[in-house]
Amino acid sequence: MKNKKRLRKIIKAIKIMMISIFAVLLLTSGVYIYAKMSPKLEIKSANAFLMYDSEGELYFQGSGNQEWISLKDISPYMVSATISTEDKRFYDHYGFDFIRIAKALYVNIMTKQKKEGASTISQQYAKNLFLDFDKTWERKFNEMWITIQLESHYTKDEILEGYLNTINYGHGMYGIENASKFYFDKSAKDLTLAEAALLTGIPKSPSHYSPFVDYELAKKRQVNILYMMLKNDYITEEQYEESVNEELHLVGKKENDTLTSVAYYQDAVMKELKKLNIPESYLETGGLKIYTNLDRKAQKDLEDSVKENLTKEDDIQTAAVMMEPTTGKVIAMIGGKDYTTSQYNRAYSSARQVGSTMKPILYYAALENGFTSSTTFTSEATTFTFANNQTYSPQNYGDSYGDKPISLATAISYSDNIYAVKTHMFLGEETLVNMSKRLGITTQLDEVPSLALGTASINMLEFTAAYSAFANEGYKVEANFITKVEDLKGNVLYEKEYEKEGILNKSLTYILSNLLTTTYDSDYIDYSYPTAIGIAPKIKHTLALKSGTTDTDHWSIGYNKDIVTAVWVGYDDNKSLSVGDYKYSRNIWVDAMEKYLEGKEDNWYEMPNNVVGVLVNPISGKPATNEDKVKKILYYVKGTEPQESDMVFDEIFDPTEQKAESNNPAP
């Protein structure tokens, strides 16, 4: 009786299983039939990224479509290496390798780690037909649907051809033909077995397996791929040995484009594109035309300036941005010293301590609160006491102090830290935080005394946009790379709208911009030197400039009406900079600015009607007399011109009363 019941249960279970299998097969067949009846995807143009520069000239075409080549024009070694490595049952499945999926699930469950994947070439190709790689369920569902569509409409050879023409081989190289020419200066049909195996290893992680990033790691992966080809009977033992020992002659160049750094700009464009509300209609229309703000001359000027000042051998890094101040358009960008060795974009993705480049923001706030070019504090060693009896003792560079009252103009020229902190405490620590927010800086800033000296880490794009408000005489802008996006039929999907929001006073930005020319002015040589006096012989145009120095970071940022340029130099591991390292950012900055402005007239600012120029002693800020050997014109809002009787601010505001106390060393 028990056996009969057990038999009935088994039969029932078998029936349920067979019905389930039949239902799955029926559903699967229905999905594939529906896919077969759906519109055919144009895979030769899908996900094509056509990037145009500011002159409307095409400078980049993504997904390898610069030169789509047929499968017969690709080395058979490349074909067999790809199949052996990525999907050895490629010709036997219908888009999904269920044996491999089951194995991957088993291994991952047993190890409790995601050690194995099961994506087929068809699935990976479907993924390449999307602009983004967000790991959402909707995204995975779309990927599966595209895989089924590919398998329904195209032969295996056509899918493999599309995959090899669109896969990312690193360094901005999409597609096997582009990659072959970049790495080996030859067509894909001429690749040797050793070369094909090396290239096959790169797409898994281009930032790791590129031979220009880590040759030893790339070589190790190449050997593993050759071994898999041997195991899968694609090559003989003799071919394996010969290829493992074959000397590789790497080239690493792009045809008709010497701007290797433009890849940083392309990456930033793609990141901005992901943030835009672009419909996925490109799948039907075949791709996107992206009109960017790239100025190729500016990009070359910036790249050349980096190459002329930094050597590849040193591990010091740099980042730089050139921005149109009236719009926030990023016209050039360097994300690192060498894209072939590091694709990390330090200008776009990182935040670094800005040092004294924070001071112009502080001093604009000071001008709004009654300071003038002649406002004086005493430059002397000072210890500040603030909340809970905590103390703060900033130092000037080289422990250099005037031990006398100095003007705001001189404080900017020397980048006097004591003057900056006294100003910060006088205004109230919240003033600098609020002014930074007004300029568009979103970084969380702490209301502490050291903020005046730039202890906060801020992203370069955001910081350059903040300076643009000084350069454009008072309007807020945001950094942007894209002006317009169209589909390949010319339908506009996105167009940037530039709005002007006035946030600063034009008269005060005029005064501040002129104060920032003191940083390289020899007339300010007194008990110290202007911070950028070393590059003064290189400066041919009138430029505002401020540098910033911390133990680990050095910035130079400056502008005129045409352009704002920011340059950072430092080490990725936050290693301390040597004294000799501080010269790099200034020289890159001035070289890039003067190259860009070469042949252009000096485009400085017109003095507003309510501003006057007064001849003064630049160090003291007092009206000039016959006894003064050096006299300079400084600028003031009418009615605030300096008087001989003006008090030193230390005498008006005693920091010891509220937040700080002066601690003067004995003479």
In the block, residue with structure tokens 């590091």: 342
| Rounded Cα distance, 625 and 636, in Å | 18
Q: What is the pLDDT of residues 618-660, one digit of tens each?
A: 999 999 999 999 999 999 999 999 999 888 887 776 553 444 3
**8 contacts: CB under 8 Å, gap ≥ 6:** none
Q: Is 207 a residue of the active site? A: no
- CATH superfamily of domain region 63-257: Biosynthetic peptidoglycan transglycosylase-like (1.10.3810.10)
| Residue 5 amino acid letter | K
Chain mean pLDDT for the chain: 85
In the block, residue with structure tokens 């070469």: 598
**131 contacts: CB under 8 Å, gap ≥ 6:** 47, 49, 270, 273, 274, 278, 282, 288
Q: Exactly one of 86, 151, 303, 641 is catalytic; which is it?
A: 86
The C-alpha angle 308, 255, 339, rounded to 5 degrees, equals 45
Q: Is 80 a residue of the active site? A: no
Q: What is the pLDDT of residues 80-132, one digit of tens each?
A: 999 888 877 788 876 666 666 565 555 555 555 554 555 787 777 777 665 44
The residue with greater pLDDT, 127 or 517, is: 517
Q: Of 3.40.710.10, 3.40.50.620, 3.40.47.10, 3.10.580.10, which CATH number belongs to 302-657?
A: 3.40.710.10
In the block, residue with structure tokens 């900017």: 412
Please give the structure tokens belonging to residue 211: 């031979």
The residue with greater pLDDT, 142 or 160, is: 160
Question: By percentage, how much of the chain surpasses pLDDT 90?
Answer: 58
**Mean pLDDT within 466-470:** 98
Q: Exactly one of 210, 261, 305, 356 is catalytic; which is it?
A: 356
Q: What is the model's pLDDT at position 47?
A: 57
Q: What is the model's pLDDT at position 572?
A: 93
- Would you say 103 and 116 are in contact if contact means Cβ atoms under 8 Å apart? yes
Q: What is the pLDDT of residues 381-426, one digit of tens each?
A: 888 877 777 788 888 888 889 999 999 999 999 999 999 999 999 9
Domain ranges of the chain: 63-257, 302-657
Q: What is the model's pLDDT at position 68?
A: 78
pLDDT at 308 over 80: yes
Q: What is the dihedral of CA 219, 224, 226, 227, to 10 degrees?
A: 150
Element (H, E) at 301: helix 296-309
The C-alpha angle 526, 649, 654, rounded to 5 degrees, equals 125
Q: What is the pLDDT of residues 472-494, one digit of tens each?
A: 999 999 999 999 999 878 889 99
Q: What is the model's pLDDT at position 110?
A: 59
| Rounded Cα distance, 437 and 449, in Å | 17
**Mean pLDDT within 436-458:** 95
In angstroms, the first-to-last Cα distance of the chain is: 111
Q: What is the model's pLDDT at position 107?
A: 54
pLDDT-derived band at 59, boundaries 50, 70, 90: confident
Q: How many CB atoms lie within 10 A of CB 572?
A: 13
SS3 for 4? helix
Rounded to 5 degrees, φ, ψ at 545 are: -150, 135
Question: Angle, nearest 10°, between helix axes 76-86 and 215-231?
Answer: 90
Q: What is the model's pLDDT at position 104?
A: 54
Pairing between β-strand 48-52 and β-strand 287-292 as defined by DSSP bridges: parallel
| Residue 456 amino acid letter | A
Q: What is the dihedral of CA 426, 428, 433, 438, to 10 degrees?
A: -80
**214 contacts: CB under 8 Å, gap ≥ 6:** 208
Q: What is the pLDDT of residues 546-581, one digit of tens each?
A: 999 999 999 999 999 999 999 999 999 999 999 888
Q: What is the pLDDT of residues 13-35, one digit of tens each?
A: 666 666 655 554 455 555 456 44
